[in-house]
Amino acid sequence: MLRYGTLMQQNSDGSFDLVIYIDQAEDFKLEFAKELSVFKKGWLNNKKLRFIKIVLAGTLIFSIPFSQIAAKGPRYAMSYIYFGSNASQLEYISLAQDTLAVISPSYFDLNADGSLKQNYISESFVNAVHDKGIRVVPFLSNHWDRASGVNALNRLDQLTDEIALAVERYQLDGVNVDIENVTHTERDKYTELVRLLREKIPNGKEVSVAVAANPNGWNTGWHGSYDYRRLAEYADHLFIMSYDEHYQGGTAGPVASLNFVERSVQYALNNQVPASKIVLGIPFFGRLWAADGSVKGLGVSINRVEDIIAKYGGEVTYSETARSPKAEFTLTTSDSLTVTGTKLGPGDYEIWYENSNSIKEKLALVDKYDLKGAGNWSSGQETRDVWDYYDLWLNSKYFEDIFHHFAKDDIIQAVKEGHMIGTSNTHFSPDDSLTRAQAATIASRVLKLSPSSNMAFSDTKGHWAEREIAAAAEAGFFMGYPDGSFQPERVMSREEMASLLFRMIQTDVQGAGPVFSDVLEERWSYQEITALAQAGILNGYEDDTFRPERALTRGEMAALLARLPEQ
C-alpha cells in the first residue's frame, strides 16, 4: 500500500519547497498529515513555491521546479450572455458552477453611421459579476448589418476612442469584437480596428475577436474579412464561431458537425494562429426545419429542444457521421407550439442540436489541439447538466472516477471515438459490469450498424438501447432467449465478450494449443478465446488463468476496444 506525507521547507529567500515523502511499508506513519491537510485546503495560496521534491524511503528521487507544473492552469472558459434580465443573467452565471472566467454581455452596438451605440450598463451587475471572480468583456456587434459595420471601419479613430473610454468608465475588462457580414474589402480595416483597440485599451484587459468558422478556406465574402494571422498578432485570442454549418434559410443539417468544427480549428492553425490564441466556440442552440419547407433553420435553445422532445414524443437519433443529435417530431392540428416567435403548424419537423455527447466531443478538441479554451453562444440556452461536465472535459479530466484506473487512456479514447459513453455526465463507472445492452450498443457503434426497429424482443420495447440491440441482432452478433427476451441488463461474461469480438473482427487467426489453464479445448469458447489471445487482444491473469465466467467490466471493455484492429 502506497503511503505518503508532505512537509513545507522554507528557504532563505522566503520561498518554500514542498517535500513529498513516499513509503510502501504497511506501518508507515503519516507524520505530516497536518501539513497535507493544510496543503489541500489551499495553504500555498499566499506562498511562493520553488521546488517540489519527491523522497522515497529516505532518498531524494527527483526535484522539479514548481513553475514547470504550475504554468498551465485551468483553460479559458467564457460565455456570451445576451438573453434575459440582469437578474436572470446572474442566475445563468451561478448555474455555471464556477466554470466561467469571462462573460461577454451585449453592451456595445453600432449606430447607422458607425459610431458606438452604448446599451444600458448596470454598474451593480458588473460589480456583482466581479465579486464572483469573473471578468466582464462586452462584445461589440453590428448584428449582421453590413452598412453600420462598414461605416464603423471607416471611422476607426473615433470608434476605438469611444470603446476605450467606456471600458475605463465602467471598469470593464476589455472588449470582444464581433462585427459580422462585412467583406474581404474591409479586411485590412478590420485588422486595424483590433490593432488600435489593443493600443488604447490597457494591457491586462482583453481584446479578442469573434471570427467566422472557415473550414473551406474561403477568401471572399464575410469569411474573407478576417485575416486570422494578423488579427492574432494583436488580439489576446480569436473566438472561432464554429457553428451555423447549416443556417437559417438553408437546407437541413447539423449546426456544428464534429468534422466542420475540427476543420475550422485546423484552418486557424494552418494560418499561423497559435493554439494558445484559439478559443473554440460551441453552440448552445439548435435549428429547426419543417418537412414542407415552411420553416428553414429556425434557431432554438437546446433547453427548449429537450422540452419539445418530451412534450411531442420526439424521436432522437445520433448521427455517427456528424456526431450530432437530431430530433424528429410531428405536430397535429390540435397541437400549439411557438418557437422563437414563430407559430408552427401541423406537420413533420426535425431539429439538429447539441447534447452532452456532442458537446463533450467538441470540448475534447481543446485538449487534442491544446487550445486556449472554449466559449459558447450563449448562456441561458443550455440544459442545466452542461455545467456538470463542462469544466471536466474542457480541462481534459473527462470523468471523476477514472484518474487512477489502469484503462484511463483507453476509456478516454473509447469515449472520444463515440464507442462508449459515461454512466453519468461525471462518471464512467469503469469497475461496473458490462451489460448485454451496453455490449450490443458498442458493437453497433464500432461496426457502424444502422439502428433498426425491425427486430423486437419482448423486453426491449422502449429500452434506451432498443434500436442498437435490434441492429446488432439483425447483423447476427446477438441472439435472444427461447422465451423471446433479450435480457438487456444481464451482465456479459469474459468468454461471451470473446465470442462477440471474434465475430466482430472476423479474424483469420485460429485458436490452437493451450493458452490459459482454465480454458480447455472442450470449452465452447475455446477457439474464440485462444484466437484473440494469440492475436494480442485478450489478456489473462498473472496465475495463467482467463476466468471465462467472470463478468467483464466497463474498463476492461474499453481496453479491449483499444486493441482491436482498424475496422
Stated pTM of the model: 0.78
Is the pLDDT score of 311 beyond 90?
A: yes
The Cα 302–Cα 284 span in angstroms is 6
Is the pLDDT score of 45 beyond 70?
A: no
Contact 462, 437 (CB under 8 A): no
pLDDT in tens, 113-169: 999 999 999 999 999 999 999 999 999 999 999 999 999 999 999 999 999 999 999
**Phi/psi of residue 5, nearest 5 degrees:** -145, 165
At 71 the pLDDT is 43
At 3 the pLDDT is 56
Coil/strand/helix, residue 220: coil
**Catalytic residue flag (residue 542):** no
Kindly state the DSSP code that residue 496 receives in the 8-state scheme: H
**CA dihedral sign of residues 386, 391, 396, 402:** negative
Q: What is the CA radius of gyration of the chain?
A: 28
- Cβ-proximal residues to 530 (8 Å cutoff; 6+ apart), any chain: 511, 512, 513, 515, 516, 519
For 556, other C-beta atoms within 10 Å of its C-beta total 21
Residue 196: C-alpha distances to residues 135, 155, 232 (Å): 22, 12, 14
pLDDT in tens, 453-511: 677 799 999 999 999 999 999 999 999 999 999 999 999 999 999 999 999 988 766 65
Q: What is the mean pLDDT of residues 197-220?
A: 98
Q: Domain segments of the chain: what residues?
A: 3-70, 76-283+355-387, 285-353, 402-563
- Amino acid identity, position 225: S
Task: Using pLDDT thresholds of 50, 70 and 90, give the confidence band for residue 51.
Answer: low
At 450 the pLDDT is 85
Coil/strand/helix, residue 473: helix
Grid look-up 496543503 returns: 39
- What pairs with residue 37 in β-bridges? none
Three cell numbers, residue 406: 489502469
- Cβ-proximal residues to 132 (8 Å cutoff; 6+ apart), any chain: 93, 94
**Phi/psi of residue 110, nearest 5 degrees:** -120, 135
Is the pLDDT score of 6 beyond 80?
A: no
Task: Using pLDDT thresholds of 50, 70 and 90, give the confidence band for residue 8.
Answer: confident
pLDDT in tens, 438-469: 999 999 999 999 877 677 799 999 999 999 99
The Cα 334–Cα 250 span in angstroms is 28
Is the pLDDT score of 288 beyond 60?
A: yes
CATH of 285-353, one of 3.40.50.2300, 3.40.50.1220, 3.10.50.10, 3.40.50.300: 3.10.50.10
At 136 the pLDDT is 98
Residue 246 class from Cβ within 10 Å (0-12 exposed, 13-18 middle, 19+ buried)? buried
pLDDT in tens, 391-430: 999 998 889 899 889 999 999 999 988 899 999 989 999 9
At 397 the pLDDT is 85
When the pLDDT of each residue in the chain is averaged and rounded to a whole number, the result is: 90
At 9 the pLDDT is 72
Contact 292, 331 (CB under 8 A): no
Task: Using pLDDT thresholds of 50, 70 and 90, give the confidence band for residue 5.
Answer: low
Coil/strand/helix, residue 440: helix
Residue 263: C-alpha distances to residues 267, 365, 516 (Å): 6, 11, 47
pLDDT in tens, 358-398: 999 999 999 999 999 999 999 999 999 999 999 999 998 88
Is the pLDDT score of 292 beyond 70?
A: yes
Name the CATH superfamily housing domain 76-283+355-387: Glycosidases (3.20.20.80)
At 53 the pLDDT is 66
At 451 the pLDDT is 76
- Amino acid identity, position 455: M
| Rounded percentage of the chain residues whose pLDDT exceeds 90 | 80
Contact 39, 6 (CB under 8 A): yes
For 321, other C-beta atoms within 10 Å of its C-beta total 10
The Cα 424–Cα 36 span in angstroms is 31
Is the pLDDT score of 1 beyond 70?
A: no
- What pairs with residue 6 in β-bridges? 20
- The distance in angstroms from the start CA to the end CA of the chain is 41
Q: 379: cis peptide before it, omega within 30°?
A: no
Grid look-up 466497463 returns: 554
Which one of 35, 180, 306, 495 is the catalytic residue? 180
At 4 the pLDDT is 59
